[in-house]
Amino acid sequence: MKGPVPFQLAFVVVYILVFQLVAGRHSINEPGLAIHVVDVGQGDGIYIELNGRPLVLIDGGADYTADKYILERTGLVCRLPLVILTHTHADHFVGFKRILERCKFDILRYNDVVLDGRAVPENVKNNHKNKVKKTFDGEQFVINGVFIKLFVPFGNINEMPKNLNNASVVLLLKYRDFDALFPGDLEAEAQERLDLRKLKRLISGRLDVLKIAHHGAVNGYSRELVAELKPRICVISVGKDNTFGHPSPSVVEELEKAGCGVIRTDKAGNVVIRSR
């Protein structure tokens, strides 16, 4: 870690007074919102609870790790109010399919961009016709007092992205004065298509949590987005000793210089960020 260590330590100590950062499980009766960034290795699997109950699933990693994690928290009976598939790369999608085989869900949203033959399975669409829909830019939900808005920078079939990362669905979550942004693997060129001024008006001051896009790769880092939203906590979901060199040391350094506390699943394991 570069930069003055005393400042970083002071930042973390002060911030934990507002948001508890813990690894692993917490009481099922714990009040408030809890964002579980599951250590799925090189991939994304994010499970969000409200007052100890399932609220949102975003992707599911490349294996059954996220499913096992959720099973330990919910037991065999699992119902997810909202599930979001950001895109269909295997490190987000394989575990997602597994979770849907076990858990019931109320709403599933995805971006119906198909590259390299990857798509949401037809049986999922056919078996849940009223629940599964292609999302659109600006679609929003309010679930138990939690506001959720989806953004699709490449939502028009005439603007097909060159790679599947840029087909990612972006999710903004608001609970009281707590705000979190989840951009999937959206690369910087596609992040530039987001209306940051409009996005900033939706959040309460600084952004509390930013899930860093594309596992901390250079092509997933937008200086403009970080400068505009000023995130307090930056979470990088990344595999230990991965072959891609993620996260980029330069990205971690820039995030820290921007005043963001960086947490990595390859170092911290399962991460939970809880609002109060």
**Residue 86 sits in a domain of what CATH number?**
3.60.15.10
Phi-psi region of 219 (alpha: psi -120 to 50; beta: other; left: phi over 0): alpha
**Range picked from 13-22, 158-167, 267-276 for highest mean pLDDT:** 267-276
* Residue 184 in domain: yes
* Residue 52 in domain: yes
Helix, strand, coil content of the chain in percent (nearest 5): 30, 25, 45
* Lowest mean per-residue pLDDT among 58-72, 112-126, 244-258: 112-126
Tokens linked to 173: 């979550």
Phi-psi region of 273 (alpha: psi -120 to 50; beta: other; left: phi over 0): beta
Arithmetic mean of pLDDT, 151-164? 73
> pLDDT tens, 161-212?
778 899 899 999 999 999 999 999 999 999 999 999 999 999 989 999 999 9
Torsion of CA 116, 88, 240, 236, to 10 degrees: 130
The span from the CA of 64 to the CA of 55, in Å, is 20
The reported pTM is 0.88
* Residue 111 in domain: yes
> What residues are paired with 22 via a beta bridge?
272
Phi-psi region of 49 (alpha: psi -120 to 50; beta: other; left: phi over 0): beta
Of 28 and 276, the one with more pLDDT: 276
- Provide the pLDDT for residue 130: 77
* Lowest mean per-residue pLDDT among 109-123, 134-148, 234-248: 109-123
* Residue 67 in domain: yes
- Provide the pLDDT for residue 46: 99
> What residues are paired with 142 via a beta bridge?
147
Torsion of CA 66, 268, 261, 42, to 10 degrees: -50
Total tally of structural domains belonging to the chain: 1
Residue type, 88: T
* Lowest mean per-residue pLDDT among 8-17, 81-90, 227-236, 255-264: 8-17
* Residue 22 in domain: no
For residue 275, is pLDDT > 70?
yes
Measured in degrees and rounded to the nearest 5, phi and psi for residue 19 equal: -125, 125
For residue 19, is pLDDT > 70?
no
- Provide the pLDDT for residue 28: 55
> pLDDT tens, 63-116?
999 999 999 999 999 999 999 999 989 999 999 999 999 999 999 999 876 555
pLDDT grade for 5, boundaries at 50, 70 and 90: very low
* Residue 244 in domain: yes
Measured in degrees and rounded to the nearest 5, phi and psi for residue 126 equal: -70, -35
Are 186 and 168 spatial neighbours (Cβ–Cβ below 8 Å)? yes
For residue 9, is pLDDT > 60?
no
The span from the CA of 220 to the CA of 252, in Å, is 12
* Residue 23 in domain: no
Calculate ∠ Cα 113-181-253, nearest 5°.
105
> CB neighbours (10 Å) of residue 137?
18
Of 4 and 131, the one with more pLDDT: 131
Measured in degrees and rounded to the nearest 5, phi and psi for residue 152 equal: -130, 90
Residue 78: which domain range? 5-13+33-274
Residue type, 149: K
The span from the CA of 25 to the CA of 213, in Å, is 25
- Provide the pLDDT for residue 8: 43
* Residue 209 in domain: yes
